[in-house]
Amino acid sequence: MTKRPTRKTGVRGTPAPNCNLRKLETMKRVVIVGRGASGKSTLARRLGDVTGLPVIEVDKIFWRPGLIATPRDQWVVMQEKLVAGDRWIMDGDLGPYDAVEVRLRAADTILFLDFSLVRCAWRAIRRLREGADFWRWLLAYRYQSRPILRAAIANHAPNAVLHVFRGPKALDRFVADASGVMRDVR
């Protein structure tokens, strides 16, 4: 009698190969998005160390001195230049100021940090540098920014591999798996 494959395993009792991990080998243009203080920049640095991909923090490029936003038309042009490279990790979610579709269209992989408000608020409190606009965005993210971002991903990056992380443990497993895959590739 042959064993039938099941949903969570290949042949009963043996783990199914994770097809998303195989796709890590081809991960060259990565966009990291999520609620403020979810750890996007930290993840970008960790993945940059693991993959050797250059990391671009959009916050550092977008915000002018005095936290003045770059005008949308200029931001689109700046991003088009940034995504022209063959290999990169770009982290950042600028909420209502963003033109994320430029990054999404160029991405082959999207990492969405969909962490809870409580977790992100705690991290933001520890940073002690956030203003009122940030807190309004953080509080309204799930009901305002998140649906817009999910639609943008569906519309502008239908062929990109999307990984959604709801907590740090899953994210840590992903980075550990990516580290193992990249070590095997090198």
pLDDT tens figures, 101-157: 999 999 999 999 999 999 999 999 998 778 888 899 999 999 999 999 999 999 999
Q: For residue 14, what pLDDT band results from cuts at 50, 70 and 90?
A: very low
- In whole angstroms, how far apart are CA 184 and each of 26, 29, 45, 107, 177? 13, 20, 20, 23, 11
Rounded to whole angstroms, the Cα distance separating 72 from 186 reads 40
Residues 6+ apart with CB under 8 A from 125: none
Rounded to two decimals, what is the model's pTM? 0.85
Q: Are 75 and 62 in contact (CB under 8 A)?
A: yes
And the tokens for 156?
Answer: 């502008």
